Structure 1
């Protein structure tokens, strides 16, 4: 009987811990303020920007161009771990959560139809809404999530 109670206690602790971790939402890394050169943010510890759920990505240097295929919302952010622009191709309709997105970047909306995309802050407030075709610059610091439909 004692082993049964101990096992139930361990399961209770694990469930409580998982609940606390999952309730906090996506993590955002703190960035040490620093000088900006060529529009790229510099951090004390370089961390690659990510998005969840995952999407196709590619990289380019300042002197290269890229194509954003029809049906995509393409987002571009500086990746300090490789010193290149990291491009995320958002095709599937979803709410995407950003991690380690800092500094100025770009968006290119090549979606088809009459879809509206949204950029949200940490509180879920809309920072920007736009429909295709649309291209622009964006400070990614206040953006926590993106909905491409």
Structure 2
């Protein structure tokens, strides 16, 4: 009789533990809200978008993307601006699918592959610690290097295929 009760008692005990874990677990901690990109803090720098490009106003098949996924992605109207928060390389490119500029905040040190970066945009290097960003072409050729505080408006993204932000 003892041999038959042992599996039953073990199964009931495991079920009781599982239910206790479900009902006693606390709520997940809320994520800290994103910083207001209109509030300037020390180290932040303003990134200004160019005017809308006349030749790219129609909807494109695919929006611009970067891989790995940037820390933050924000849409900004043509001629608008936002804060490039300290620690980021911010790059913007026209998104013809939305009719505005998409801004990628490249925070984590990596090489970002770019897709559909066509036409003009802007960039600003607000990284800390002297990080220099490098823009590379289709064959891996270095196109330009951008030191801390470096920026450009009306930058032509068409020849750039990847960015190493550190």
Normalised by the length of structure 2, the TM-score is 0.64
Query: Which residue number corresponds to residue 109 of structure 2?
Result: 93
The reply to whether residue 39 of structure 1 matches residue 53 of structure 2 is: yes
Give yes or no for contact 1:118–1:127 (8 Å, CA) kept in 2.
Answer: yes
Q: Is the 8 A contact 1:40 1:104 kept in 2?
A: no
Distance 2:145 2:79 in 1: 29
Query: What is the aligned residue count?
Result: 113
Q: Please tell me whether the aligned partners of residues 59 and 96 of structure 2 are also in contact (alpha carbons under 8 angstroms).
A: no
CA RMSD, 1 decimal: 1.7
Tell which structure's C-alpha radius of gyration is larger. Answer: 2
1:71 aligns with 2:90: no
1:18 corresponds in structure 2 to none
CA gap 1:110/1:41 in 2 versus in 1, 3 angstroms: farther
Using the TM superposition, give the Cα deviation of residue 41 of structure 1 relative to its aligned residue in structure 2, in angstroms.
4.4
From 49, 54, 59, the equivalent of 2:75 is 59
Report the alpha carbon displacement of residue 115 of structure 1 after superposing the two structures with TM: 1.4
Query: Any idea what the Cα deviations from partners look like across 1:75-121, whole Å, max 9, x if unmatched?
Result: 00000011011000000000000001100110011001111110000
Residues 1-149 of structure 1 correspond to what in structure 2 (within 5 A)?
Answer: 38-39=52-53, 41-42=55-56, 45-55=60-70, 56-137=72-153, 138-149=155-166
Q: Return 5+ residue gaps in structure 1 as ranges.
A: 1-36
